């Protein structure tokens, strides 16, 4: 969209871009992806500028560098979703004291929750001890990744949690997720309402292409329909090894009862540890009973969910 002194724009051909499985392969979507590639190239150059400033300032040899993002890719099934394209974010960590693993990939399952303990450990700062809503101290549910920078872990790095409440004030759709290397469980708390679309994404060429093709009765080239995208089940259980596109919901199938019970128990425990105010939704309301110490109870709304 123009020039800045330190950025040389790189343009890509829509005919040559790689279309991911969660985006329809149409001319409009390809053009949108090509524009996204240009955006990423600008970001890549910007990171290089920051690292060069770090070198010139003399802090290259004693600075921990962490790069991530605030949400997944801005395409259908991506941003604002807790399907894998929405949860997948860049997570690059570089330590001058762990050169042995520079440039390597790790299979450790990490999340943004791990940034706080990582930074605290880097500076040798004790984890905070304070209370918010209950009698117990707040617990950090993330882990420091500093050890992973030196050696690939053999265990203890196979599970991540995620949550979404809203993206805009009109985009209320709370979800909770637990994901490990084999399965993912998505809890759509307000599953009876249609999944909302944020305003800038609604106007994107890719999404407008889906709308127009659906309204005109033409093939969308997409792996879902808009109806499937808008209306979701309360629980979604996916086998990520056999179904990486998250198309076959295994919830309620007898063969996966034990998998669901295990993941549901861990997700419920995480909601308790984090004092999740939506822990009783959508069928009940969380109410505090007593003050010394306070204890929460779920009181039914009698709304048939």
The domain segmentation of the chain, as residue ranges, is 64-195+231-300
State pTM to two decimals: 0.92
pLDDT for the residue numbered 81: 96
Q: Given the structure tokens 């998998």, which residue do they identify?
A: 259
pLDDT for the residue numbered 67: 95
With respect to CATH, is domain 64-195+231-300 assigned 3.90.76.10?
no
N- to C-terminal Cα separation, the chain: 48
Instruction: Quote the tokens at residue 212.
Output: 């127009």
Cα dihedral 10/14/20/25 (nearest 10): 160
pLDDT for the residue numbered 138: 79
User: Across the strands, what pairs with 300?
Assistant: 284
3-state secondary structure of 224: coil
pLDDT for the residue numbered 133: 66
Tell me what the pLDDT averaged over the chain comes to.
92
- DSSP assignment of 2-20 equals --BTTB------TTTSPPP
Q: For each successive 10 residues of the chain (305 residues), what is the average pLDDT?
A: 74 96 97 95 91 96 94 93 95 95 95 96 91 75 95 94 92 96 97 93 96 97 96 98 98 98 96 88 82 69 88
3-state secondary structure of 287: strand
Contact in structure between 208 and 259 (CB atoms under 8 Å): no
- DSSP assignment of 171-209 equals -EEEEEEEEESSEEEEEETTTTSPPP--HHHHTSHHHHH
| CA–CA dist 192, 172 (Å, integer) | 12
pLDDT for the residue numbered 293: 47
| CA–CA dist 113, 104 (Å, integer) | 22
3-state secondary structure of 61: coil
């Amino acid at each position: 969209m123009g020039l800045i002194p330190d950025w040389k724009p790189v343009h890509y051909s829509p005919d040559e871009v790689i279309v991911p499985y969660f985006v329809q392969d149409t001319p409009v979507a390809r053009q949108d992806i090509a524009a996204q590639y240009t955006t990423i190239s600008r970001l890549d150059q910007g990171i290089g500028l920051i690292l060069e400033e770090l070198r010139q300032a003399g802090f290259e040899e004693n600075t921990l560098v962490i790069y991530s993002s605030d949400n997944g890719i801005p395409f259908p099934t991506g941003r604002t979703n807790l399907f894998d394209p929405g949860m997948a974010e860049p997570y690059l960590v570089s330590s001058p004291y762990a050169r042995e693993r520079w440039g390597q990939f790790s299979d450790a399952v990490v999340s943004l929750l791990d940034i706080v303990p990582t930074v605290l450990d880097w500076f040798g700062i004790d984890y905070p001890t304070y209370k918010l809503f209950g009698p117990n101290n707040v617990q950090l549910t993330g882990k420091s990744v500093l050890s992973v920078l030196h050696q690939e872990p053999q265990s203890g790095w196979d599970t991540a949690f995620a949550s979404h409440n809203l993206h805009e004030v009109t985009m209320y759709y709370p979800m909770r997720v637990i994901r490990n290397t084999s399965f993912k469980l998505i809890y759509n708390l307000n599953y009876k309402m249609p999944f909302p679309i944020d305003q800038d994404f609604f106007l994107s060429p890719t999404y407008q292409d889906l709308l127009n093709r659906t309204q005109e009765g033409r093939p969308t080239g997409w792996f879902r329909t808009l109806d499937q995208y808008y209306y979701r089940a309360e629980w979604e259980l996916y086998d990520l090894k056999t179904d990486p596109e998250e198309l076959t919901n295994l919830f309620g199938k007898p063969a996966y009862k034990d998998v669901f019970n295990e993941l549901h128990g861990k997700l419920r425990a995480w909601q308790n540890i984090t004092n999740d105010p939506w822990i009783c939704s959508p069928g009940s309301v969380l109410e505090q009973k007593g003050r010394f110490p306070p204890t929460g109870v779920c009181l039914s709304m009698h709304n048939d969910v």
